[in-house]
């Protein structure tokens, strides 16, 4: 039997209608989370994106900048998971585009999520200590970006532990980003205000100190930053007189603007138990980029001498930087990507903290690779036509760094082991690396190797013979080694190089007093007090020295000079009962009984138990 088949037609599957995308249901959650932290009143972004009307008005622009991943500004490629990541997924980018293609509908009001809430004022509440720049800085209406450093000094209060820090820039419209450096040795103060405005210029500030800052935290601010306390056990320490240097990137707005930043500190009673360390991969001496050259590569690597957890990374280059890669090669040959940015943009640099710290065992080699483009094809190239560019701290110079925040594992403080290995590696590569010799000297001194410290600091001074901080630090090391003549020589050189360097003036005076050169020491102590009127230690030392000289002059019968000395002591220590007594004695010996009586009575008002003042008062002629 033959079967006859007719043509059967199956019913077609229904064509799926594209789901309607609305602002209230699908787009608002994306915008509120990823855009609103900066695009809101009072922040640096030029317009707000807090409402449907705000977003619809710029819908086309939003599609363009999200498709190109220019916005939100998140530079790293997909790879390690970073905390607070603001990367839009491909699905989210597609959703925004489809919403615009469909007409940018608002949708059901019931679908709209609550608007984001932002903490007004200080994000963690009122800080325990607020430091505000005493005088505003004025930024000119036009011109290149300005990099300015402002100094904030911690007032008296003893040793305190910081659990969080917040920067309030004072004028969000012109502040692109800022970071805070800890300067315990006041190595930056001498530069403050020299051009008539608060602070001093400089893009990439290098803090000079006889010891590296031991805590090594990333203290970084940019618009939309969320302030978070340091992890448990990772507070950091400030002492009386510690300087915080706020390094700010300012952008002219087209009209003169002022900025008066503040720093808020939140304290905790918990002393630091966990001490991270910042390790800098860099090879700036290799930066010599010919005009027109693209694909210029600079690399550096370092092998860890201890086990450590990698907490965060901070890549940094200027406008010619194009691509940066950070990697870790473990002892077994396994390679891990730490960060990869294909399209570097200085204007959106940031610190990237890992969601979960990356364990790097001893023997791991961490490496960076920077690629630069000094051609006219680089839209960010500041030179038109391109020019040869070398390393430096100006915006038109270049740098190539990858900072790693490491938390050493195991027992004991192993940071010095890492620092020593890092500095010795740099010296092997560049024997004339001033910073490496200087910092290695500090590390060796902390380890108790004074001879090694002196040797390294001699090398630092050889490389920069006029560097006042290095000279002063070497002097201090020589003094610890009981080489008083050598110490005095270094202190004199430091003062000659920088007369307004108070620490060197004080150290020279102390050395002179130790060999009883009181007359020579006094002018240096007076200079310290002039430079730092609030330095009570220097005031007391000066008063002690002048009093010693006054006694010597009085015993030698030089009463007029002795009286002048004792007057100076009283002016320095007005509540010192003994100082008033001594001035009274000098006046009485000089025949000024009225003045003597005033001083003895003043001494007794300050200290009624001052027996010498009472007896001297009784001996005065009636």
- Predicted confidence (pLDDT) per residue in 220-262, tens digit: 888 777 788 988 899 999 998 899 999 998 989 899 999 999 9
Sheet of strand 236-238: strand arrangement:
129-132, 262-268, 160-168, 236-238
- CA separation, residue 125 to residues 177, 473, 525, 567 (Å): 22, 40, 42, 49
pTM of this structure: 0.78
Among the listed residues 524, 502, 511, the one whose alpha carbon sits nearest the alpha carbon of residue 475: 511
* Closest C-alpha to 478, from 469, 470, 488, 468: 488
Tell me, what's the pLDDT at 352? 93
Joined together, the tokens standing for residue 353 give: 């903290």
Q: Given this model, what pLDDT does residue 15 score?
A: 39
**203: Cα separation from own chain's centroid:** 12
What was the pLDDT predicted at 207?
A: 53
- Which pLDDT score is estimated for 18? 59
Are 419 and 406 within 8 A, CB to CB? no
Distance CA 571, CA 283 (A): 54
- pLDDT given at position 79: 84
Q: Beta strand pairing status for 352-360 and 400-408? A: unpaired
List residues bridging with 289 in a β-sheet: 389
CA pair distance 20, 91, nearest whole angstrom: 15
Cα 202 to Cα 30: distance, rounded to the nearest angstrom = 38
**Residue 363 Ramachandran class (φ > 0 left, ψ -120 to 50 alpha, else beta):** left
Question: Which tokens in the block code for residue 619?
Answer: 């001996």
Residues of the chain with pLDDT under 70: 1-18, 44, 204-215
Q: Which residue has the tokens 């002196």?
A: 454
User: In sequence order, which residues have a C-beta less than 8 Å from that of residue 377 and are 6 or more positions away?
Assistant: 294
Q: Please tell me the predicted confidence (pLDDT) of residue 215.
A: 54
Task: Record the tokens describing residue 221, joined without a space.
Answer: 């601010």
pLDDT tens per residue across span 513-567: 999 999 999 999 999 999 988 888 999 999 999 999 998 998 898 988 988 888 8
Domains in the chain: ranges and CATH? 23-111 (no CATH), 129-268 (2.60.120), 277-429 (2.60.120.230)
The rounded distance, in Å, linking the Cα atoms of 226 and 142 is 30
Chain-centroid distance, C-alpha 57:
40
Task: Report the side by side order of strands in the sheet with 321-329.
Answer: 294-303, 365-373, 321-329, 335-341
Report which DSSP code applies to 449.
-
Closest listed residue to residue 401, CA positions, set 378, 435, 440: 435
Measured distance CA(313)–CA(218) in Å, rounded: 9
d(CA 282, CA 286): 9
Q: Tokens 């970071």 — which residue?
A: 179
Confidence (pLDDT) at 206: 59
CA dist 432 → 34, 438, 610 (Å):
47, 11, 60
User: Cα 189 to chain center, whole Å?
Assistant: 14
pLDDT of residue 95: 93
Which residue bears the tokens 């500004």? Answer: 73
Closest listed residue to residue 415, CA positions, set 615, 276, 260, 271: 276
């Amino acid at each position: 039997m033959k079967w006859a088949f007719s043509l059967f037609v199956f019913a077609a599957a229904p064509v799926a209608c594209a789901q309607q995308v609305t602002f209230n249901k699908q787009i608002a959650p994306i915008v509120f989370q990823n855009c609103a932290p900066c695009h809101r009143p009072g922040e640096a972004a030029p317009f707000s994106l807090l409402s449907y009307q705000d977003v619809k008005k710029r819908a086309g622009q939003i599609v363009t900048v999200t498709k190109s991943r220019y916005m939100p500004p998140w530079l790293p490629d997909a790879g390690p998971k970073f905390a607070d990541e603001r990367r839009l997924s491909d699905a989210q980018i597609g959703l925004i585009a489809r919403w615009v293609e469909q007409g940018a509908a608002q949708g059901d009001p019931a679908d709209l999520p609550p608007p984001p809430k932002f903490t007004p004022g200080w994000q963690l509440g009122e800080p325990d200590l607020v430091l505000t720049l005493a005088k505003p800085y004025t930024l000119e209406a036009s011109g290149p970006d300005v990099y300015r450093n402002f100094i904030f000094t911690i007032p008296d209060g003893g040793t305190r532990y910081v659990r969080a820090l917040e920067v309030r820039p004072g004028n969000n419209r012109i502040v692109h980003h800022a970071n805070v450096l800890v300067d315990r040795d006041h190595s930056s103060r001498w530069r403050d205000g020299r051009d008539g405005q608060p602070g001093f210029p400089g893009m990439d500030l290098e803090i000079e100190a006889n010891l590296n800052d031991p805590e090594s935290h990333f203290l970084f601010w940019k618009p939309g930053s969320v302030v978070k306390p340091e992890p448990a056990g990772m507070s950091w320490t400030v002492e009386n007189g510690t300087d915080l240097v706020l390094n700010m990137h300012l952008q002219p707005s087209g009209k003169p603007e002022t900025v008066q930043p503040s720093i808020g500190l939140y304290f905790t009673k918990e002393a630091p138990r966990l001490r991270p360390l910042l390790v800098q991969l860099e090879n700036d001496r290799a930066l010599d980029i010919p005009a027109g050259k693209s694909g210029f590569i600079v690399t550096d690597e370092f092998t860890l001498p201890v086990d450590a957890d990698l907490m965060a990374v901070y890549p940094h280059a200027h406008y010619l930087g194009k691509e940066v890669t950070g990697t870790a090669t473990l002892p077994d040959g396994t390679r891990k990507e730490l960060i990869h940015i294909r399209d570097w943009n200085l204007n959106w640099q940031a610190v990237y903290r890992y969601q979960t710290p990356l364990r790097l065992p001893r023997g791991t080699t961490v490496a960076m690779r920077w690629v630069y483009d000094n051609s006219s094809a680089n839209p960010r190239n500041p030179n038109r036509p391109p020019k040869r560019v070398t390393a430096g701290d100006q915006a038109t110079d270049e740098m190539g760094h990858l900072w790693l925040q490491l938390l050493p594992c195991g027992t004991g403080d192993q940071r010095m082991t890492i620092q020593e290995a890092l500095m010795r590696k740099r010296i092997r590569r560049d024997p004339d690396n001033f910073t490496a010799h200087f910092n290695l000297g500090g590390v060796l001194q902390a380890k108790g190797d004074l001879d090694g410290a002196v040797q390294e600091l001699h090398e630092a001074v050889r490389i920069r013979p006029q560097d006042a901080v290095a000279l002063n630090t070497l002097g201090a090391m020589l003094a610890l080694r009981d080489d008083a003549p050598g110490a005095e020589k270094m202190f004199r050189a430091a003062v000659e190089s920088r007369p307004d360097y108070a620490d060197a003036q004080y150290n020279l005076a102390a050395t002179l007093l130790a060999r009883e050169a009181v007359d020579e020491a006094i002018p240096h102590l007076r200079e310290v007090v002039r430079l730092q009127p609030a330095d009570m230690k220097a005031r007391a030392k000066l008063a002690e020295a002048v009093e010693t000289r006054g006694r010597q002059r009085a015993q030698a019968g030089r009463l007029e000079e002795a009286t002048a000395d004792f007057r100076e002591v009283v002016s320095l220590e007005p509540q010192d009962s003994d100082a008033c007594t001594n001035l009274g004695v000098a006046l009485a010996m000089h025949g000024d009984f009225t003045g003597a009586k005033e001083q003895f009575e003043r001494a007794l008002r300050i200290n009624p138990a001052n027996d010498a003042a009472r007896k001297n008062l009784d001996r005065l002629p009636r």
